[in-house]
Amino acid sequence: MENAERYMRQAIGLAQQAVANGNHPFGALLVRDGKVVLTAVNTVHTDHDITHHAELNLVSQASQQFAPEFLAECTLVTSTEPCAMCAGAIYWSGISRVVFGCSAAALGQIAGGDFLQPCKEIFAQGRRPITVIGPVLEDEERPFTNNIGPSLAKKTSPETPGNGRCAPPRGSLQSAAYFAVKGRSCDRLRKTPQYRWLLSFIHQSGL
């Protein structure tokens, strides 16, 4: 895809916007004929809906605004490889191409989680082909770009005894750990295997 890196940096910017709004760090955009026609961010927390991933929000809006023939000529660019749920929505929407930044494998190493199957394998189960390009700029996107940690730190209240909340750890990898268990108390956060694994990785890597 021509200008894939330029579009990916826009998706990364949308992921940063999602963080600033208090959501998970994911953003997506729809491109047709070299123009961005629609954008969306993750709104899981602000909408109180676990299905409101960036890609699913984008597909939902696109399906309401554009005809299937239009979507068939579109490319969905997303900061992180679509999960199984979002891959299914992309397939049924008729969108013909996906470009992603951080891969599902890298996301799993960073934050753990379920259903982190490569989207190409999911699309392969369908009857129509979908072109998949990625990872693109994974070094910038993994984990969720270096700018996400500072943005999150500004958004989250510092730890205060009794309020059940805490500021995210410093740095990108630590922020990924925070997002992996977002919404839990500080004590519970620090006891999760994802958090402990990341801290161990950070210390061993000298990051």
Helix (H, G, I), strand (E, B) or coil at 162: coil
Please indicate whether residue 69 is annotated as part of the active site.
Answer: no
Cβ-based neighbours of 162, under 8 Å, separated by 6 or more: none
37-56 burial code (b ≥16 CB/10 A, e <16): ebbbbbbbbeeeeeebbbbb
Sorting pLDDT into bands at 50, 70 and 90, what band is 176?
very low
Q: List the catalytic residue out of 55, 69, 81, 159.
A: 55
- Residue 87 pLDDT exceeds 60: yes
pTM: 0.69
Cβ-based neighbours of 74, under 8 Å, separated by 6 or more: 30, 31, 32, 37, 62, 66, 95, 96, 97
Sorting pLDDT into bands at 50, 70 and 90, what band is 156?
very low
71-91 burial code (b ≥16 CB/10 A, e <16): beebbbbbbbbbbeebbbbbb
Strand partners, 27: 41
- The mean predicted confidence, pLDDT, of the chain is 78
| Mean pLDDT within 196-205 | 52
